Amino acid sequence: MAEGPTPDGLGEAVSRSALPALLLEVPSERVLAASPGALDLLGQGGRPVVGRSLEDFAFDETSGALPLLMTGRLSGYETTRELDVAGQPHRVTLWVRRADQQLPPRHVVAILSAPEAVGHQALPHALADTVTMVIGSTGPDLVVDRVSSDVQDLLGIPVDEVLGRSLMAFVSPATAGDLLWALAQAASGGVGVPVRLELLRSDGSPVLAQALIVPLQPPVSCAFSILGIQQQGEDPLTAGQLTELIEDLAAGVDAVVSSTGMPAPSPVDLSRLSAREAEIVARLLAGDRVPTIAKMLFLSQSTVRNHLSSVFGKLNVRSQQELVHLLRRPDEGHAGGTAG
């Protein structure tokens, strides 16, 4: 397959990304553009990155996931590779997503996350609080057992009408097969799989959404994030759309992985929390403090505290200490305390 030029605007969008991102031509995996974060990771010592194949930086064999994306059934996938970082192999997680609507796709964007190399687990993102993202989880029968309150904004369906129903009930027949395919790939490979879905609102009207499916145990339990997206035609993505795609994917990865740290379904009613509130609470339970949470989510500390104040009101606690106690020991309830 002949190598094509960098799509207009897409290379610039990746090059300016605050995330460690690559624009790759497929199936060659030639790097067409790289963000500063990706250059810092792969280009240490001044070695060139753009123009080379991603395989030039790999110590291991390709995962074989790319052919699945080329079929058009999946819009993206997660894979872990051993890449050359400063001459040493490091395990790098790549979140890969189509960057055009052609079939097979000619270009993909890959976000790199290398905790052991860069010292952090989270992907930074700047998801606006006005954006509706739903996070939740299912049991092995795909029955929804947790979901954030944002589901009512996205689908017009109250939380209590979503809990206890199959996730499949909210997906249109046109993309139900894609969701099942993503679930199967996630469960068999133990990796997260992004998939584009058409969801159904309470009145039966469709909503186009980008979903991320992350496998849980036992199979086929999953955690999920769902982000409503604008209708896109078959034309190549614009630079602005690609920038949004990169940020949305990072936000989905970070939110759904954070949500897996939330307590299992319990008498504590977490369904009233928004996706942003659930993400902040999950980070708090993981031991992060407000300044760290604010930095990782690109929020001000006052915004994080405002979200926590909302959580306090919804869960009837008065401090971070009471909140942690309530969620870590839900069987014992909580006692009154002083604000902290």
Per-residue pLDDT reduced to its tens digit, 281-336 = 888 888 889 998 888 777 889 999 999 999 999 999 999 989 988 887 544 444 43
For residue 59, give every residue at least 6 positions away whose Cβ sits within 8 Å of its Cβ, in sequence order, or none.
Answer: 82, 83, 84, 89
**Least reliable range by pLDDT among 143-152, 266-275, 292-301:** 266-275
Q: pTM of the prediction? A: 0.67
Domain 10-118 grouped into CATH 3.30.450.20: yes
What pLDDT is attached to residue 308? 95
Domain 275-332 grouped into CATH 1.10.10.10: yes
Kind and range of the H or E run holding 160: helix 159-162
3-state SS assignment for residue 60:
coil
- DSSP letter assigned to residue 317: -
Extents of the domains making up the chain = 10-118, 275-332
ω into residue 85 within 30 of 0, thus cis? no
What pLDDT is attached to residue 23? 92
